[in-house]
């Protein structure tokens, strides 16, 4: 069995790993800026080089030696461009892979810290809010990155002149749904567990006040914590033993029965987990009235707890949906960078006329539902996978499922990145034509009297391409 020293050492190790993973998450996304550099400076440099070359051609006599040197320089520049293009292509694949991988692995370590924080070796639970702090921190980091490295102007610069693949469309639409689904369950678990006593008391108590016991509100609040501790402790064992020895309990006052030692042991462990009997104020105990006395007081606590307990999942879901929406939206820009998909026509008929692309509005709700369901299942399997039992293969089977899901996502990411191609001149012309025709339909520009000249000018422009 693990000792308290080993538990504290494990906690320190887990926090160190999470810090490193957060650095990888942030650094990998931030590195996009350094890989692409300052696009305005690059454009100015290209413009300056072109001007210098033109002046050289116009003002100097080009002999064979100069031509040979120029060809060598061009070859070197072409090789540098190819290396730069290859670097950027691999960066599109590896940066999102490291970022998403670091996030999901960190979530596993967060779960481990929370589980260890409820160890019976500790006199008091700890780290119960670390999951919430972690998600808020990741959301804040993503928000900052989206306002800097991944803002719209920068994003356009990263994907300009690129045409996405069909797999890229699936990936771009699916990843935010997977993140949302994951956080819907993972965040709900964190929110429900962490906010039991404090937030639920603060938020729900004002909405479930019994006018008969207003002056005992502080005692009721303490009792609700006790009942909550019952629910989080070994209540199942105690209930089992109570039902098992119901006859012996009934006769306990008449005889001493050693067969009840199991019940006594479970009750002892139950109380060691923090279970305490309800506090009944002296004034209440002295009231000999079923509607105002002890029975009514205890019943009120039970009913109030049922209201709180029934609201736990809903409040936890509120937290998870809030965080899921922020993180899901925040991660979209990263996958636009990865896939180059931004709903613009590619100009390539093989892509634009693909059945999936042309019917995307019909398929996308089902695709989103499928990916959300997949995301919801991930924390379920993580929860099972992190259990330790030498006599149960659920742990191993869950890791197999998680590995298969991870492999599918990685393969899709790879093909969505390496399926990206440069737009040809023909693609660019076709893209402009399709976009202009869509704009004509959207703006209702036809041969009507008011639009006739404008429609004619647009058609002339389209036909000139």
Same domain, 54 and 146: yes
Cα of 209 vs its chain's centroid, Å = 37
Residue 18 included in any domain: yes
Contacts by residues 430-433 (CB-CB < 8 Å, ≥ 24 positions apart): 430/345, 430/347, 430/348, 430/349, 430/352, 431/344, 431/345, 431/346, 431/347, 432/347, 432/462, 432/465, 433/462, 433/465
Residue 289 included in any domain: yes
Same domain, 273 and 168: no
Residue 432 included in any domain: no
Same domain, 290 and 384: no
- Are the C-beta atoms of residues 104 and 30 closer than 8 Å to each other? no
pLDDT digit string, tens, across residues 79-104: 555 666 888 889 899 999 999 899 98
Residue 431 included in any domain: no
Residue 220 included in any domain: yes
pLDDT of residue 278: 78
pLDDT of residue 213: 65
Q: Which residue, 267, 289, 306, sits at the end of a domain?
A: 306
Domain count, the chain: 2
**Smallest Cα–Cα separation from 171: which of 93, 251, 109, 223?**
93
Residue 428 included in any domain: no
Q: Which residue, 276, 306, 336, sits at the end of a domain?
A: 306
Same domain, 41 and 173: yes
pLDDT of residue 52: 46
Same domain, 282 and 156: no
Cα of 176 vs its chain's centroid, Å = 8
Q: Which residue has the tokens 């199991």?
A: 262
Same domain, 296 and 416: no
pLDDT of residue 102: 93
> For 155, phi and psi rounded to 5 degrees?
-60, -45
Same domain, 166 and 228: no
Q: Which residue has the tokens 């520009």?
A: 445
pLDDT of residue 250: 64
Same domain, 335 and 360: yes
Environment class of 304 (CB within 10 Å of its CB; exposed 0-12, middle 13-18, buried 19+): buried
- Are the C-beta atoms of residues 272 and 233 closer than 8 Å to each other? no
* Domain coverage including residue 284: 201-306
Same domain, 13 and 114: yes
Same domain, 267 and 349: no
Same domain, 397 and 274: no
Q: pTM for this one?
A: 0.73
Residue 34 included in any domain: yes
CA distance 139 to 26: 11
DSSP 312-329: HHHHHHHHHHHHHHHHHH
Residue 8 included in any domain: yes
Q: Which residue, 306, 340, 366, sits at the end of a domain?
A: 306
pLDDT of residue 202: 58
Q: Tokens in use for 264?
A: 């006594």
CA distance 158 to 337: 7
CA distance 164 to 421: 7
pLDDT of residue 259: 64
Same domain, 81 and 167: yes
CA distance 229 to 332: 40
Kindly give the parts of the chain with pLDDT less than 50: 45-47, 49-50, 52-53, 56-57, 60-63, 65
**396 in helix, strand or coil?**
helix
């Amino acid at each position: 069995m693990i000792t308290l020293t080993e538990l504290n050492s494990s906690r320190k190790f887990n926090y160190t790993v999470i810090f490193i993973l957060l650095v990888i998450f942030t650094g990998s996304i931030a590195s996009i800026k350094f890989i692409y550099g300052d696009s305005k400076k690059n454009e100015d440099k290209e413009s300056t080089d072109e001007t210098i070359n033109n002046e050289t051609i116009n003002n100097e006599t080009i002999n064979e030696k100069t031509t040979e040197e120029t060809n060598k320089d061009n070859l070197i520049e072409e090789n540098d461009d190819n290396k730069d293009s290859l670097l950027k292509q691999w960066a599109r694949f590896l940066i999102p892979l490291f970022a998403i991988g670091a996030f999901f692995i960190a979530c596993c370590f967060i779960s481990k810290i929370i589980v260890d924080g409820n160890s019976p070796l500790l006199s008091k639970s700890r780290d119960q809010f670390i999951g919430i702090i972690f998600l808020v921190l990741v959301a804040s980091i993503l928000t900052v990155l989206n306002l800097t490295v991944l803002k719209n102007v920068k994003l356009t610069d990263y994907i300009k002149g690129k045409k996405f693949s069909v797999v890229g469309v699936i990936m771009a639409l699916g990843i935010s749904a997977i993140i949302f689904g994951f956080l819907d369950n993972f965040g709900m678990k964190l929110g429900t567990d962490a906010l039991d006593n404090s937030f639920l008391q603060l938020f729900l108590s004002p909405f479930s006040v019994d006018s008969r016991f207003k002056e005992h509100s502080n005692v009721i609040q303490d009792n609700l914590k006790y009942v909550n501790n019952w629910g989080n402790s070994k209540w199942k064992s105690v209930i089992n033993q109570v039902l098992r020895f119901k006859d012996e309990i009934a006769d306990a006052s008449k005889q001493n029965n050693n067969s009840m030692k199991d019940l006594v042991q479970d009750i002892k462990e139950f109380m060691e987990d923090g279970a305490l009997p309800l506090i009944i104020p002296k004034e209440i105990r002295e009231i000999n009235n079923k509607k105002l006395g002890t029975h009514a007081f205890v019943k009120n606590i039970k009913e109030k707890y049922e209201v709180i307990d029934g609201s736990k999942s809903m409040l936890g879901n509120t937290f998870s949906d809030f965080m899921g929406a922020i993180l899901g939206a925040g991660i979209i820009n990263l996958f636009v960078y990865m896939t180059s998909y931004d709903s613009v026509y590619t100009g390539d008929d093989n892509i634009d006329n693909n059945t999936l692309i042309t019917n995307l509005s019909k398929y996308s709700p089902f695709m989103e539902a499928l990916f959300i369901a997949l995301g919801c299942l991930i924390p379920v399997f993580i929860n099972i996978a992190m259990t330790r039992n030498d006599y149960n293969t659920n742990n191993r089977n869950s890791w197999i499922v998680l590995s298969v899901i991870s492999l599918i996502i990685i393969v899709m990411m790879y093909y969505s990145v390496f399926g990206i191609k440069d737009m040809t001149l023909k693609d660019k012309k076709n893209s402009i034509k399709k976009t202009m025709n869509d704009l004509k339909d959207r703006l209702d520009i036809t041969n009507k009297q008011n639009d006739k000249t404008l429609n004619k000018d647009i058609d002339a422009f389209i036909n000139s391409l």
